[in-house]
Amino acid sequence: MPDTPSASGSKPSSPPLWPPSNTRPSDLPLPERFARAVPSAPALATYTELQLPARTDERCLTYCTQRSNARTFRMEPVCHTLCWRKVYDYEQKLIDAAARVGTLDITLPGTVLSEEQTRELDARVIKQRDDLSTLAARYAPEKLARVEAAEARRKREAAALQPEWEAYCQRVERMQREGAEEDAVRRFMVEKRALRERVEQLSQPGPEHRYRSFGELLLPFPPPKTDRWSFLRGHYIYYVRGTHEPPHLWARMTILGPWGLRIAQAVQRDGREVGALLDSDMVPKVKGPKTVGLAQMGAEQQQGSGKKERDPNYVAVLSLEHVPPAIYDSASSSMQRIYAPVLSFLERYRESFASGQQRRSARLLWEKLTDLEDGPMGMWKKMGAGFESLRKEREREEREERRAREKEKGEGTP
C-alpha cells in the first residue's frame, strides 16, 4: 500500500494512490489536458511540500429575529448570515497539489504529533483529496472544454488571416514599387496596420488562458483580467438569508476552496459571463409539489400581484478582486454608449486630416474664393452689373415718362 500524505513533515517514500481507484478513466488526464490547453501554466509537479499555519481564513456573523405571532404558528425566524472568506496562497497551492496526481507533504509549524495523530490527519487529507477529485470531475471538464474550444477558434482565425496578411504586404510593396498615388498607399497602410493588430491579438493567449494552475478551475470565479487588484485576491464575502443554508455553509468550512461552483456552472451553461457576484437567483428554480402554509400563501399572493417572489433561502458570494473591474466595465460601457457617436465623428475627422482630404478641401475653397468669375468676387461683380443695368433701365423709363408728359402738355396748349 502506498504511503499517505504526511502531516508531520516526513516525506513519503512513494506517491500515494491518487486519483483514487473509483475515479473514471476519462477524468485522469484532466491536469494534462489543462497543461496542453494553457502552455503558460507551470509544469505539473509530482511532489509538493507545504507549511500549513493555523491562520483564521473565515469568519461568520449570524443575526436572527423572531416575532411572537410567528413563534405561535411555529414559523422560522428571520436570519441573516454574513461571512468573510480568505483563500490564502498556501491554500490555493494545496488545492493545486491535492487536485492532481502527486505526493503531498504537509508540515504543521510548531506542532508535534504522535503517530496516531499523524495517521488520523493523513486520513483526513486523503478524504479532502477525494472531495477535490469529485469537484474536479464534476466542474473541470466543462471549463477545460471551453478553454480548448477558444484555443482552437483562435488558431483557426489566425490561420485564416495569414493569407490575407501576406496579400496585403505584397500589394503595398507593389504599389510603392509602381509609384501609386500617395493617398492610396496611405489608405492601404492604415488597413495593413489594423490587420497586423488583429493578427498580433490572435497570436496572444486569450482570456481563457488567464488560468495559472489547474486548481484555479475549482474556483467559482475566473481569473481577473488584470493584476492591478491582486491585493484583494482570494477575498470573498458570503451572504445567506434564512435558516436552511447556514448549516450547509458551516459544513463547507471543512472543504478547501470557496463556495459557488454550482452557480458559476449554471451561469456559464446559460451562455453568460461570470462577474463579481454569484447568487442563488441565477440558478433556475425547480418547482416541486405544492404545499399549503402561510409562507406558500404569501408567495402565491405576491406572484398574483405581479411582485417578484423573495427567496427565503437566498445565498450570494462576492469576489472582492472582481468588483473594481466590474464597476469599471459597467461605467465604461455606459460611457461608450453615450460618447461612441462623438468619438466616431472625431475619428473620421482625424482620418480626414491624415488622408489629406482637409488640405484638398481647403485648396478648393481658396480657389473658389479667389476666382474672379465663379468666386465671391465674380458674384459681387455680377450683382453690381445687375444693379447697374436695373438703374439704367429705371432711368430710361423715367426719361420716357417725362418726355411723354412734356409732349402731352405741349399738345394741350393753344
Query: With the CA atoms of 185, 191, 196 and 202 taken in that order, what torsion angle do they form, in degrees rounded to the nearest 10?
Result: -170
Please spell the DSSP secondary structure of 328-342, one letter per residue.
HHHHHHHHHHHHHHH
Would you state the pLDDT for residue 17? 32
Question: In the prediction, which pLDDT does 102 show?
Answer: 72
* Helix, coil or strand: residue 236: strand
What is the predicted pLDDT for the residue at 3? 39
Higher confidence at residue 282 or residue 10?
Answer: 282
Q: What is the pLDDT of residue 203?
A: 66
Task: Identify which has the larger pLDDT, 321 or 174.
Answer: 321
The gap between the terminal CA atoms of the chain, to the nearest Å, is 158
pLDDT in tens, 225-250: 788 888 898 999 999 999 988 888 88
Q: What is the pLDDT of residue 9?
A: 42
Predicted confidence band of residue 68 (pLDDT cuts 50, 70, 90): very high
At 27 the pLDDT is 44
Contact 218/99 with Cβ under 8 angstroms? yes
Q: Which of 147-151, 248-252, 285-289, 362-366 has the lowest mean pLDDT?
A: 285-289
pLDDT of residue 307: 59
327-383 pLDDT per residue, tens = 887 877 777 777 777 777 777 777 777 777 777 888 888 877 777 777 777 777 778
pLDDT for res 24:
39
**What is the average pLDDT value for the chain, to the nearest integer?**
77
Set of cell numbers at residue 232: 484583494
**Is there a contact between 222 and 146 (Cβ–Cβ < 8 Å)?**
no
- Tell whether the model's pLDDT for residue 4 goes beyond 70: no
Predicted confidence at residue 412, as pLDDT, reads 61
Neighbours of 86 (CB within 10 A): 16
Q: What is the DSSP letter of 14?
A: S
Residue 316 pLDDT level (bands cut at 50, 70, 90): very high
